[in-house]
Amino acid sequence: MKPSIGFAWPFLVLLLLGMAAAEGGAAETNGQAVGAAPAGVPPQPELPDDGPRFDAAVQGPEAQQFYDGVSAFRRGHYDAARAAFDGFATRNPESGLFPASVAFNAELTLQQEASNRKRAEAVNQYRGLVRAYPKDPNTVRAEWRIGDLYRAMGWFQEAKSAYEQALGRSQTERDTSRAMLGFALACSALGKWKEAELAFATVRKQASDDRMFMHATRGLASALYTQQQVADAQPLYDMLHRRWPTMMRQDAVLLSQYCAVLFDTNRMLQARDVCTVLYNMYPSRTEGGAALIRVGDSCRKLGQQKCSEVFYTVARTLYPNATAGAYARLRLTQMEQELAAVAAEDFLYMKVRGLMRGADSTYLDDAGFRRTYLDMASAHDADMLGSEALYHLAEYHESRKAPEEAVRIYHQVSIRAGKIEHDPWPAAAGDRLVTLLKPRLESALAARDEFNVVSLFHWHGSAPEQHYTGTDILLRVADIHRRQGFSAQAVHLYQSLVRDLKAARFHEEALIGLGQSYLDQRDYVAAQKVLERTRFLYPQSLKGPMVSKLLISSLRGQENYHGAAKLMRTWLRLHPNDRERASIQLMLARTLAEDRQPEEALAAFDEAVRAGTVSPTNDDRLVLADLLSHKHSPQRALELYRQVLTAHPEREEAAWAQLQIVRNLSGRRDTALARAIPTALSLGGDPLLQRATTAIQGNPPDSLIEQGE
> CB-based contacts of 285: which residues, under 8 Å, 6+ apart?
27, 28, 252
Three-class SS state of 415: coil
Cβ atoms of 572 and 539 within 8 Å: the answer is no
pLDDT score, position 34: 54
pLDDT score, position 4: 39
Q: Which residue has the higher pLDDT, 583 or 269?
A: 269
DSSP state of 321: T
pLDDT tens per residue across span 573-619 = 877 777 777 778 777 877 887 777 777 777 777 776 666 656 677 77
Q: Among 328-332, 540-544, 695-699, which stretch is predicted with the lowest mean pLDDT?
A: 695-699
Q: Give residue 38's region: left, alpha or beta (phi > 0; psi -120 to 50).
A: beta
pLDDT score, position 439: 93
> What band does 438 get if pLDDT is binned at 50, 70 and 90?
very high
d(CA 88, CA 90): 5
Is residue 30's pLDDT more than 90?
A: no
Is residue 11's pLDDT more than 60?
A: no
Q: Does domain 469-558 have CATH number 1.10.3720.10?
A: no
Is residue 76's pLDDT more than 70?
A: yes
> What band does 486 get if pLDDT is binned at 50, 70 and 90?
very high
> CB-based contacts of 329: which residues, under 8 Å, 6+ apart?
316, 372, 376
Share of the chain above pLDDT 70, in %: 81
| DSSP letters spanning 587-631 | HHHHHHHHTT-HHHHHHHHHHHHHH-SS---HHHHHHHHHHHHHT
pLDDT tens per residue across span 191-232 = 999 999 999 999 999 988 999 999 999 999 999 999 989 999
pLDDT score, position 706: 43
3-state secondary structure string across 33-66: CCCCCCCCCCCCCCCCCCCCCCCCCCCCHHHHHH
- Looking at this protein, which amino acid is placed at residue 355? L
Cβ atoms of 451 and 484 within 8 Å: the answer is yes
Beta strands in 286-401 (DSSP E): none
> CB-based contacts of 321: which residues, under 8 Å, 6+ apart?
27, 29
pLDDT score, position 41: 60
Phi, psi of 153 (to 5 degrees): -85, -10
Three-class SS state of 661: helix
> What band does 361 get if pLDDT is binned at 50, 70 and 90?
very low
Q: Which residue has the higher pLDDT, 689 or 309?
A: 309
pLDDT tens per residue across span 377-434 = 899 988 899 999 999 999 988 888 889 999 999 999 999 988 888 889 999 999 999 9
d(CA 232, CA 491): 38
CA atoms within 13 A on the CB side of 666: 11
d(CA 669, CA 114): 108
What is the domain partition of the chain in residue ranges?
A: 50-171, 469-558
pTM here is 0.70
d(CA 479, CA 623): 32
Q: Which of 162, 153, 161 is nearest to 117 (CA)?
A: 153
Is residue 162's pLDDT more than 90?
A: yes
> What band does 446 get if pLDDT is binned at 50, 70 and 90?
very high
* DSSP H or E segment with residue 309: helix 305-318
d(CA 152, CA 146): 10
- Mean pLDDT to the nearest integer, 44-68: 81
Is residue 313's pLDDT more than 60?
A: yes
| DSSP letters spanning 206-221 | H--SHHHHHHHHHHHH
Q: Among 6-15, 55-64, 68-77, which stretch is predicted with the lowest mean pLDDT?
A: 6-15
Instruction: Answer whether 50-171 and 469-558 agree in fold.
Output: yes
3-state secondary structure string across 65-123: HHHHHHHHHHHCCHHHHHHHHHHHHHHCCCCCCHHHHHHHHHHHHHHHCCCHHHHHHHH
d(CA 102, CA 341): 74
Is residue 487's pLDDT more than 50?
A: yes
Q: Which of 545, 570, 635, 631 is nearest to 595 (CA)?
A: 631
Q: Which of 670, 677, 678, 682 is nearest to 632 (CA)?
A: 670
d(CA 502, CA 480): 22
Question: Mean pLDDT in the chain?
Answer: 81
CA 306 from chain centre, in angstroms, equals 41
d(CA 348, CA 361): 13
Fold of 50-171: 1.25.40
Cα dihedral 477, 478, 481, 483 sign? negative
